[in-house]
Structure 1
Amino acid sequence: MPIWKRNLFVCWFGMFVTGVGMSQLAPVLPLYIKHLGVDDPDAIAQYSGLAFGVTFVISAIFSPIWGLAADKYGRKPILLRASLGMAIVVFCMGFAHNVYELVGLRLLQGVITGYGTACTTLIATQTDKEHSGWALGTLSTANVSGSLLGPTIGGFIGENFGLQNVFYITGGFMMVAFVTTLLFVKETFVRQSKKAQSIREAWRAVPEKSLTLTLFATFFVLTVALYSVEPILTVYVNHLSGGGSHVALIAGITFSASGLANIIAAPRLGKLSDKVGAHKVILFALAAAGLLFIPQAFATSPWQLMALRFLFGLASAGLAPSVNVLVKKITPPSLTGRVFGFNMSAMYLGAFGGAVLGGQAAAWFGIRYVFYLTSALLLANAVWVYVKVYRKLQRVPSA
């Protein structure tokens, strides 16, 4: 088996459990905060939002920093640091004595992040051009599916094994990711530039700034779309089911439907981008994903919503791998880690922004308007990609 393919499988597992670790707290957070001694419902809501959001905001700040370190010292050391650090921090959350310790540990979790950035950089630089779309497509399913399945996994563990065991079990999986990374990831790292560059200097050296920013924005919008329904999905499913039983389970399955579709479609769409061009796949995926959000607002049963979420997952699966393929193509090898770090920052900000958008839009306008607004955002981004990316790369035969 080629080294890049073995590294891909190890990184996939590590990114999956990292994605789970970042998002698994969502369904158990209010219950755990109450367990830590907070009884006021308004205070529980405030601390839940803070504890959930702070990790993504801090991760957005530190991802480019760890990308710089990956370019300077190699990707494997960053993988080992991130997986071991997150294993310890997440495990310690189960021992928190009060809500302040929990929020502090979530903040520290955001600082320690960097596994996804280093994995993406490692696979992008090791994989040949003919297989880069498939490899990055396969890798993209790990973080997306981990983030989408995380709330369901966290809720299942919390309900069947206890709230604290959510952190112990997730921390244990991250320790497994550390051990597999240590034993099986192989990297022969040679620095492309002997002179250390700051993040600002590195950005000045990026040759296609406008195109790169458009790709960052696309990754941001994709993540906003994935997370915009998170605050309102359970309430919406409860409304569609008429207050029936097993609402939490049905909501978890509905939320995870797009993650399952992503796992199925992303490698295939990544392979397609190798053949027809990543810019074509991005444009089609944005338009299809934007259109598929509209009928979700008109669903009349949870099963209709579940099917539409699955179709949305199939369409959106082409975005992340195609963005990463284009970022790799237009970025000099010496800057790959830093640029992918900025790309991961866009993803983390999108996760936070999507949750805020969904909650605020539902509160101000109603639940169905969350789907309208997200659809408009995706379709507007499709128009921007057509102008800034598609028309430019369509003129380049090798794009």
Structure 2
Amino acid sequence: MKNWKSAVYVVSAIQIGAGMAIIGVMAFLPLFLSQIGITDSGEAAFWSGILTAVTPLTLAISSPFWSLEAKKRGAKPVMVMILLVVAVSATLCSFTNSPWQLLVLRTAQGLAGGFIPIGLSIVTEITPEEKTSWAMGFFQAALVAGTMLGPLAGGIVADIFGYRAPFLFFALLLVLCALATKFFLPEVNKTSDEKEDGSSMFSQIAYFIKIPEFRVLAAIQFLCNFGITGMGPIFPLYLEKMVGGEATAIASLVGFLIFLSGGADALASLSAGTITQRFDMKKVLFVSTIFVGFTFIFQYLMTTVWGLGAFRVVTGLGIGIIMPITNTLIAKSVPSEKRSIVFGVVASISMLGNVAGPATSGVLAMYMGYASVFWLTAFAFFLGGILFFITDRRKKAA
């Protein structure tokens, strides 16, 4: 495809907008729950965890289906349909009056999702082989940008216009993404091996699971997402407790800190290639994973908002190195003709981490307090680093 680079730009821009709409609720969702009757902080943390987790759970389940639909009907029309359905769901969220109504709509958003694996498959299909690493890095930066800008925009809109307004703002953003897909994204030609690759998603998953390197790298991405998203349900409440009555714009503060962390993540992602040229890639991955675990411990030990924010930024630097390295190693662990499929499978596994993190942290915060969430998150990263170290040693010894 001659205009492959412009297509990568368009797909990445769409991912930024869609990511903002899905992640943006993290900045104000626990506070919105108090407005619709959930006044106990522990119960708010619990519901926030469930509502944050249900979307990636259903997204992980539905992603293989949407990947197959994209192969049958074309990525472009499927992407437009997905974005419009999620936009309708976001609009309806603004009119909810109970957490159960939110649960139904957040579930619908996940079932209608799948734009990330479709975007990944488009990028891998249209990009020349020698430019794949650049395209994947650019796409990853777009995903990070969505997680940065979403909570920041959601928090600002919530503090200015109220907690219902961000849902309408994100719905409008999704409609704009659908229009961009319709009018600016070029048609993607179907590959000659489409029938073979799309015949059975379950057989493809079974194929990848048999590869030891894939298993451990996918597990690390699962644990990374577990740790990152696990802070979402408690972060606004933890900041509110930390500042007491000294600040009123809590949602904006949450969005700002997430923005800073995401910015550090993006900068580190852009630097990961340079770092791995100077140091062994696997050693960098191991050290970075353990390092991030310690940063969560230091986050808990901080007694000021800015101290906490500083270590959130440091955490973002570590995550920004981990994710592109794992994606690179995953790509190297499978045949080149399987790469477009493997990233779809990894996306589903990673989404399960987005499920387990918020659900677990919400329950822990409710019954054991906020400290348990920080310590469990640190343990998740320690476990990921140790698991990778052991697997790599076994491979070298074999």
Same fold, TM-score > 0.5, yes or no: yes
Contact 2:93 2:167 in 1 (8 A): yes
- Per-residue CA deviations over 1:106-142 (Å, capped at 9, x if unaligned) read 2221111111111122223333455433332332233
Does the C-alpha gap of structure 1 residues 240 and 310 become closer, same or farther in structure 2, counting only changes over 3 Å?
A: same
Does the C-alpha gap of structure 1 residues 304 and 394 become closer, same or farther in structure 2, counting only changes over 3 Å?
A: farther
Distance 1:390 1:135 in 2: 31
- Equivalence map 1:166-315=2 (5 Å): 166-186=166-186, 187-195=188-196, 196-206=198-208, 209-241=211-243, 243-246=245-248, 248=250, 249-270=252-273, 272-273=275-276, 279-315=282-318
RMSD: 3.3
What is aligned with 1:86? Answer: 86
What is aligned with 1:319? Answer: 322
Does the C-alpha gap of structure 1 residues 64 and 19 become closer, same or farther in structure 2, counting only changes over 3 Å?
A: same
Picking from 331, 344, 352, the partner of 1:341 is 344
Q: Is 2:391 aligned against 1:380?
A: no
Does the C-alpha gap of structure 1 residues 301 and 163 become closer, same or farther in structure 2, counting only changes over 3 Å?
A: closer
What is aligned with 1:124? Answer: 124
Distance 1:104 1:112 in 2: 12
Q: Which amino acid aligns with 2:202?
A: R
Does the C-alpha gap of structure 1 residues 272 and 132 become closer, same or farther in structure 2, counting only changes over 3 Å?
A: farther
Distance 1:363 1:126 in 2: 47
Q: Which amino acid aligns with 1:126?
A: I
Q: Which amino acid aligns with 1:14?
A: I
Does the C-alpha gap of structure 1 residues 131 and 243 become closer, same or farther in structure 2, counting only changes over 3 Å?
A: farther
Q: Which amino acid aligns with 1:370?
A: V
- Per-residue CA deviations over 1:319-356 (Å, capped at 9, x if unaligned) read 22222223333334554454323212222221222223
Contact 2:285 2:321 in 1 (8 A): yes
Contact 1:145 1:259 in 2 (8 A): yes
Shift, 1:295, TM fit: 1.7
Distance 1:320 1:18 in 2: 20
What is aligned with 1:138? Answer: 138
What is aligned with 1:52? Answer: 52
Q: Which amino acid aligns with 2:236?
A: T
Gaps of at least 5 residues in structure 2 are none
Contact 1:135 1:267 in 2 (8 A): no
Distance 1:194 1:28 in 2: 44
Contact 1:134 1:267 in 2 (8 A): no
Distance 1:22 1:174 in 2: 10
Does the C-alpha gap of structure 1 residues 279 and 174 become closer, same or farther in structure 2, counting only changes over 3 Å?
A: farther
Shift, 1:314, TM fit: 1.0
Distance 2:19 2:212 in 1: 29
Distance 2:274 2:3 in 1: 19
What is aligned with 2:150? Answer: 150
Q: Which moved more, 1:14-23 or 1:126-135?
A: 126-135
Instruction: Give the aligned length.
Output: 393
- Per-residue CA deviations over 1:274-316 (Å, capped at 9, x if unaligned) read 7867544433331321232222222132111111111110111
Distance 2:287 2:134 in 1: 17
Shift, 1:253, TM fit: 2.2
Contact 2:91 2:171 in 1 (8 A): yes
Distance 1:278 1:136 in 2: 17
Shift, 1:71, TM fit: 4.5
Distance 1:178 1:346 in 2: 26
- Per-residue CA deviations over 1:217-263 (Å, capped at 9, x if unaligned) read 11111111212222332343345445422461433322332112112
Contact 2:21 2:173 in 1 (8 A): no
Contact 1:250 1:302 in 2 (8 A): no
Q: Which amino acid aligns with 1:190?
A: T
Q: Which amino acid aligns with 1:120?
A: L
Gaps of at least 5 residues in structure 1 are none
Distance 2:176 2:393 in 1: 41
Identity among equivalent positions (%) equals 26
Q: Which moved more, 1:25-34 or 1:190-199?
A: 25-34
Contact 1:207 1:330 in 2 (8 A): no
Does the C-alpha gap of structure 1 residues 375 and 205 become closer, same or farther in structure 2, counting only changes over 3 Å?
A: closer
Question: SS of the residue aligned with 1:24?
Answer: helix
Does the C-alpha gap of structure 1 residues 371 and 34 become closer, same or farther in structure 2, counting only changes over 3 Å?
A: closer
Contact 2:225 2:354 in 1 (8 A): yes
Question: SS of the residue aligned with 1:244?
Answer: coil
What is aligned with 1:18? Answer: 18
- Equivalence map 1:385-396=2 (5 Å): 385-389=388-392, 392=395
Contact 1:64 1:340 in 2 (8 A): no
